[in-house]
Amino acid sequence: MKISVIVGTRNRAHVIRECLDSITAAFAKAAPLDGEIIVVDNGSTDGTLDLIRNWVAACPFSARWLSESRPGLSAARNYAMRVAQGDLLVFTDDDCRLNEDYIKDLLRHDAADTEPVLRGGRVELGDPTDLTLSIKTSPDLTRWHRRMRSARYENLAASIVGCNLALRREVAERIGPFDERIGPGRSIPAAEDTDWVWRAYLADITIEYVPDMVIYHHHGRKRQAEGDKLFANYMIGNGALYAKYLFKDFDFCRKFFRDIQISIQQLLSGRKNYYIIGTYGFYLHVGLAYNVLGMLKFVLVITGQRLKRAIPGYSLRPFHGHKLNPEQPQ
């Protein structure tokens, strides 16, 4: 089996090398291995692309760099999926580092699968002084599936973290590409990974979290203001998905209405609806306000798309802007 590890990046020259080195270390630990590393630069201006080129040239494993000029992590990942040759696809972020046993653990889980699975693993803080955001540290293996009505009873949006995703190519083809209207680099700055997980759920694909596939996230946010900005992005992204799925599958939106109920009850009772997650805290009603903003943003994006389609001669030109590593055939 061939494995493709995909990393999208933009202006991360200060961290991308450590990420890529951790992938090669995980490949070496799992050798012999038929693997490739695909790095997609998404319009960097800080020297990231030059660093990637030099790193790829010296990599002991099969590696290539791509350039995607259309903004957004979703566009970068979609381009990489079209180019990737692997039967097993892995997605991580440029500020993450794989545990050296990551690939070995992934292969062991994949070999035991008897049904299509979208799998995610544990995400630990790379720096313990960072805010406890963008991580998932549960020690328990957990599965979600539509036949179990998982989304009715659990917050499926929190099941998998997007910097630690793995699945077979045929599973990705069933889900379809990432929604390029959503995610980092777009006006709706998050939740492209949540959208992908939800679409897998709707396609009757098992969602699985395993605690032994470990990635260390060096997100670098230490101040409350930095956490507030990231939290706002997450809540805006979730709000966009509430708008997207409200009339398609109400189960996804149950958490939004539960949060409204809880917030009203707490405000009326005079209780402080403040929640602490590790070293970061937020007000529930503030999160709901950002959810509503995300809904409005998504409606505006949809409206803009429909207006553009109404213009004679308009074309989406889905492959416009792609540049492939000149050492690789188009």
> What domains are defined for the chain?
2-221 (3.90.550.10), 225-309 (no CATH)
Residue the block writes with tokens 């995607």: 68
Residues ≥6 apart with Cβ < 8 Å to 50 = none
Q: Is the pLDDT of residue 151 over 80?
A: no
3-state secondary structure of 258: helix
| 222 DSSP 8-state letter | -
Q: What is the pLDDT of residues 303-329, one digit of tens each?
A: 988 887 787 554 434 333 444 444 443
Neighbours of 201 (CB within 10 A): 23
**Per-residue pLDDT at 104:** 98
Q: Is the pLDDT of residue 56 over 90?
A: yes
Neighbours of 31 (CB within 10 A): 12
pTM of the model: 0.91
Q: What is the mean pLDDT of residues 85-112?
A: 98
CA–CA separation, 92 vs 70, rounded Å? 19
3-state secondary structure of 4: strand
Residue the block writes with tokens 């599958």: 249
Neighbours of 21 (CB within 10 A): 14
**Per-residue pLDDT at 122:** 98
Q: How do beta strands 2-9 and 34-41 pair?
A: parallel
Residue 38's nearest CA partner among 12, 11, 19, 25 is: 19
Cross-strand pairs, 188: 182
**Per-residue pLDDT at 275:** 75
Cis peptide before 71 (omega within 30 of 0): no
Q: What is the pLDDT of residues 184-197, one digit of tens each?
A: 999 999 999 999 99
**Per-residue pLDDT at 311:** 72
Our CA dihedral for 162, 164, 169, 175, rounded to 10 degrees, sits at -30
pLDDT band at 153 (very low <50, low <70, confident <90, very high): low
| 210 DSSP 8-state letter | E
Cross-strand pairs, 281: 276
Q: What is the pLDDT of residues 172-220, one digit of tens each?
A: 999 999 999 999 999 999 999 999 999 999 999 999 999 999 999 999 9
